[in-house]
Amino acid sequence: MGAEIVALQEVLAYPSYDHARAIAARSNYRSAVSSPYVRYGTTAWVLAILSRHPILKIEEKALGSRRALRTLIDVHGHNLEVVTLHLTPLAGPNSSTSNIRQRTAARRKELQILIHWLKGSPYPQIVAGDFNMLRATFGILDMGEYSMMLEAGYEDADGAWLPMNSDTFPIPEETRQKVGEYLPGILIPDAITLDYVFYSDGISVDSIESVESAESDHYPLVGDFRLDNCQ
C-alpha cells in the first residue's frame, strides 16, 4: 500500500531468525525492533517500526510485563515520534470476572508508565498499537483506560462520537460460544476494536480505516496523517 511508516506488534522472533528486520530488508524499509516481551519456548514476540524515512533515535520501555518501542523519525526535515505497543490482553481463554478486572488494572498501570515516559516530548507523536482496550463509546463498557489517553492530551484518530471505521478484532467463534453462556447471542458483536492510533498536537488526520485481512487475527488500521509544519 506504499505506507511510509508501519507499526507492528506480536512479531515472531527466533534465536536464529529476525522476522521484523528480514521483512524490512525485503521491503526496503529502515527498521527499529524491540527486545522480546513475551516468550514461548524458543520463540518470542517483539515490536517493530518500519520507516521509509531516516530513524534518528530508538528507545524502548518496559510496561510491566509488556513493552513499548519509541522512535524519532526525520520526515522531510521535521522530527516525528512514532511509538508502538502491545498491552495486556483484554481476556484469556478461561477468564473469570476477577481475572478480567486484574487484566484491566494491569493495562491501566501499563498506560500510566507509558504516559509518564512520553510526557514532555518536544515533538509531535503518533502512538499506535494493540491496546487491548475498549473505546467505551457513550461511556458503555468504560474500564477507564481509553480516557487515560485522552486526558494525557492525545486524540484518537477515529475518535468521533460515532466512529465510522470497522472494528479491528473479529471475535473467534469459540470465544462467542464461551460468552454466549452468560450473554444472549444478539448482544455479542462480530468484532470489537482493540487497536488504536492516537496522535498529539502538531498532527492532522486526513483519513483512517481498518482493512479486513486474513494475514493476522487483527485487522490493520491504515491512516493518512500530516505534520502541520511540513508542507
Within its chain, how far is the Cα of 51 from the centroid? 16
The model's pTM: 0.90
Residues 6+ apart with CB under 8 A from 162: 137
| pLDDT the model gives residue 182 | 63
Look at residues 151, 63, 71 and name the one whose alpha carbon lies nearest to residue 113: 63
Q: Any long-range contacts for 76-79 (C-beta under 8 Å, 24+ apart)?
A: 76/230, 77/230, 78/227, 78/229, 78/230, 79/123, 79/124
Tell me the pairing of strands 125-130 and 195-199. Answer: antiparallel
Task: Give mean pLDDT, residues 49-63.
Answer: 97
Q: Round the average pLDDT of the chain to a whole number and report it.
A: 88
By the 10 Å C-beta count (0-12 exposed, 13-18 middle, 19+ buried), 178 is classed as middle
Count how many residues are written for the chain. 231
Output the nine-digit C-alpha cell for 8.
507492528
Residue 173, classed as helix, strand or coil, is helix
Residue 98 phi/psi, 5-degree rounding, is -65, -35
Read off the amino acid at residue 60.
E
Under 8 Å between Cβ of 6 and 50? yes
The 10s digit of each residue's pLDDT in 213-226 is: 888 888 999 999 99
Under 8 Å between Cβ of 227 and 79? no
CA distance 18 to 26: 12
Under 8 Å between Cβ of 37 and 76? no
Under 8 Å between Cβ of 128 and 84? yes
| pLDDT the model gives residue 115 | 98
The 10s digit of each residue's pLDDT in 176-187 is: 776 666 666 666
Helices (H) and strands (E) in the chain, counts: 4, 15
Residue showing cell 500510566: 112
| pLDDT the model gives residue 163 | 64
| pLDDT the model gives residue 94 | 66
pLDDT > 60? residue 27: yes
- Band of residue 138 on the pLDDT scale cut at 50, 70, 90: very low
Output the nine-digit C-alpha cell for 81.
515520534
